[in-house]
A and B are shown apart, each in its own frame.
Chain A
């Protein structure tokens, strides 16, 4: 399983209801179903991913999350999770609000744009950072709303969102002491467990 999924796994309760926004091929939901009897539902837009979910028996709805989640009732899920997709949303702030309207808790992971490598790239080359993990040019990237740890935490403060737990990893998904010491500079992926 993808390493960031291994880290967040502990935050899901057995037999709980989980909504996965941008569920990909259903890997997380299948794992939670098989190990914790979690009742999952995924929203996804990629055709191959949707077929993959159906093939492994994961409930998946073809839906563009940017069109809104208004048809999903308040508090109808225990946890709403969104991994590595916040930065592609048109309005990440509204999505985070929606996550905590629909679920009691939220789990969010996103690439930290304040990582030293990105800073170094921009400072030295004067161009938008391109890397193995974020390989797109500025003009064709699906990642339209990059943010940093600090930005996300400021959003949480502004919207009255409580951070239950936070962790940071590098792209190899190692939790290093240095990441924790100076997350905004040294953490590559931000992982947040949030609630109201």
Chain B
């Protein structure tokens, strides 16, 4: 709990819900007739609405990216290190919009929401949504907020995929795309990890084909396992060695199958905590959106061709020990952008933190992030 709010915090924040009545056509062929998007905003929109920055969240993210929800809040939003006064996404200069994506479980319409047709929670009936569907819903949100063109769209991991999709689908509505620790498509290995996570959830006896809300017996074991697998892939070998080594909470070998190594209890704690705060059906949906993302697919599998539609400038960033979204994948994006003759900069940040590094404010990462966003802000003020 912060006694006082740090000076570089956006302070106390409150989400707002936007309701959309017009049906949203989805890539699957299905529709969502009506939906809510829950949104936080930080900073002020300028007179010509040219300083808006969209934050796209990753697999388990949500609208609460920065600041505190109350003075009792233990931790700030998930990307507080990057968003705030004087931070890379400087809220003194930018109007920042952060939402929970469709299918989420933090206030936007998703599997836990009531399906107006049945008056029951959607559960497994919630349609599978794609990155493109999210981008379309975000475009409607932009309309609602009177934002014709984003100064920048910023996202890490799955969020970076949304930034790329925006650049391709709405080239005249985004000036800069920041694609951090992301990939142009998942590799087989990456999809495989997602499938293990999904199997863990759907094989949990309490999953009940996704209709677990009514008796309130949620598949916590499966969701915790899914998170544990995921979490391992977000860390690096070096990082885990440094953090846990072979430290044992029991002090010596106990020759049984109870938890002994620190890394075991850490993972169990992370899984347990996640399973009480996240919805299993949402987890399934988010991993599918990751697996399905492949913007090159409809351009003869030529990523440069797909990205040639983009008009914006790109910053691509990767982290050396990230093996889930490795630097090679970011270099693929960068190379395709060079081939497509787009404006692109690329940096590969040294880090021990694996995929999680995109959420951790290491000095060089923050310097590059700030330098880029500063340039974005300068161009806005020159034009106004």
Contacts and interface: CB of A to CB of B under 8 A. Distances in A.
Nearest to B327: A62
A56 to B, nearest CB: 8
A73 B315 contact: no
Interface residues of A, number: 21
A54 B372 contact: yes
A59 interface: yes
Contacts, number: 52
Nearest to A40: B343
Interface in B79-125: none
Contact of B315 (A54, A56, A63, A72): A54
A62 B339 CA distance: 16
A61 interface: yes
Interface string A13-45: 000010000000000000000000001010000
A87 B315 CA distance: 30
A50 B375 CA distance: 14
A51 interface: yes
B345 A60 contact: yes
B339 A73 contact: yes
Given A61-B334, A71-B335, A73-B339, A51 B344 contact: no
Given A59-B345, A62-B347, A73-B339, A51 B334 contact: no
Contact of A55 (B315, B331, B375, B379): B375
Interface in B360-382: 364, 367-368, 371-372, 374-375, 379
Contact of A47 (B364, B372, B374, B379): B364
Given A51-B368, A54-B368, A54-B375, A59 B343 contact: yes
B347 A50 contact: yes
Interface residues of B, number: 21
Nearest to A61: B346
A96 interface: no
Given A47-B364, A54-B345, A72 B371 contact: no
A7 to B, nearest CB: 28
A26 B372 CA distance: 14
B344 A50 contact: no
Nearest to A17: B341
Contact of A72 (B338, B346, B364): B338
Nearest to B375: A57
Contacts of A75: none
A39 B341 CA distance: 9
B344 A61 contact: yes
Nearest to B339: A73
24 contacts: A47-B364, A50-B347, A50-B368, A51-B367, A51-B368, A54-B315, A54-B345, A54-B347, A54-B368, A54-B372, A54-B375, A55-B374, A55-B375, A57-B379, A58-B345, A59-B344, A61-B334, A62-B346, A63-B346, A71-B331, A71-B335, A72-B338, A76-B338, A76-B339
